[in-house]
């Protein structure tokens, strides 16, 4: 269904695709002038505190950003489990995680990348994937309501804190399912609509959006914040999460 029947249809499809990619955000990109060669010199990125934008692609941006989102969800879960033993630390960590979720995941990743650049394209595709944007948008909106609620609860009394585990559980479940579908269905189908030339251009545009929103401290800044939250919760040692070996099978042998 997505393959053109002749060259004229192909030209028309590519023009439509570019319009969907860039006009929806008002981005005045000239595809011929936005290749990787136009990126800032490597010398400007030499600091170990800076994320190396020069070598990554649009899909890598999406993957890294979902990595931050998933680490926030894990911090939520861990903090919720500490509410009975160290409530003040747990609530402070949840508030920090919710603020990071609001700024990085909702205001930047969802609004400025997915909702502006990806979902309008996917909605125009054929097949089941075209149904995803409406569901994903509804879940974005519900997620913002949940973040508002989590922030209100953390600012409240100890009786309010008792409502956090259920709210966090619902948030985590929704976004685990949400991001899994995006990573395995929505993002791959979106990428299929791009030529190599367009893919380079949209990768550059992702960088521009991130720098416009955060300055020079986008992904790297978010990563620093989630690492500090994890430290507050005792989550920094990855080895502690290694699963134990399975127990021997003591079930009766069949005769």
Per-residue confidence in pLDDT tens, the chain, 255 aa: 444 444 444 454 444 444 444 434 333 333 333 333 333 333 333 333 555 555 789 999 999 999 999 999 999 999 999 999 999 999 999 999 999 999 999 999 999 999 999 999 999 999 999 999 999 999 999 999 999 999 999 999 999 999 999 999 999 999 999 999 999 999 999 999 999 999 999 999 998 898 889 877 788 999 999 999 999 999 999 999 999 999 887 666 665
pLDDT at 83: 96
**Contacts of 154 by beta carbon, 8 Å cutoff, 6+ apart:** 91, 92, 94, 95, 98, 160, 161, 164
Residue 99: both structure tokens together: 């603020």
pTM above 0.85, yes or no: no
Q: Report yes or no: 106 and 147 within 8 Å, Cβ to Cβ.
A: yes
**How confident is the model at residue 247, as a pLDDT?**
87
Query: Phi, psi (5° rounding) for residue 237?
Result: -85, 100
Instruction: Please report where in the chains the tokens 């929704």 appear, as a residue.
Output: 174
Are the C-beta atoms of 142 and 150 separated by less than 8 Å?
no
């Amino acid at each position: 269904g997505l393959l053109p029947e002749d060259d004229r249809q192909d030209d028309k499809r590519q023009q439509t695709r570019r319009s969907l990619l860039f006009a929806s955000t008002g981005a005045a990109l000239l595809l011929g002038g936005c290749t990787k060669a136009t990126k800032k010199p490597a010398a400007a990125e030499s600091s170990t505190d800076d994320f190396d934008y020069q070598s990554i692609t649009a899909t890598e941006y999406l993957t890294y950003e979902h990595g931050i989102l998933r680490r926030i969800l894990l911090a939520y879960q861990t903090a919720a489990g500490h509410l009975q033993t160290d409530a003040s630390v747990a609530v402070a960590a949840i508030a920090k995680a919710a603020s990071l979720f609001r700024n990085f995941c909702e205001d930047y990743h969802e609004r400025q990348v997915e909702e502006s650049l990806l979902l309008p394209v996917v909605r125009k595709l054929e097949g089941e994937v075209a149904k995803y944007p409406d569901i994903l948008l509804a879940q974005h909106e519900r997620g913002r309501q949940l973040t508002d609620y989590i922030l209100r609860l953390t600012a409240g009394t100890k009786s309010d804190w008792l409502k956090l585990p259920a709210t966090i559980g619902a948030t985590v479940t929704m976004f685990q399912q949400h991001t899994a579908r995006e990573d395995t269905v929505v993002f791959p189908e979106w990428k299929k609509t791009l030529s190599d030339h367009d893919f380079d251009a949209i990768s550059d545009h992702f960088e521009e959006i991130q720098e416009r929103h955060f300055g020079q401290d986008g992904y790297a800044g978010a990563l620093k914040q989630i690492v500090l939250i994890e430290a507050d919760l005792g989550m920094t040692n990855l080895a502690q999460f290694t699963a134990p070996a399975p127990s021997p099978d003591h079930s009766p042998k069949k005769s």
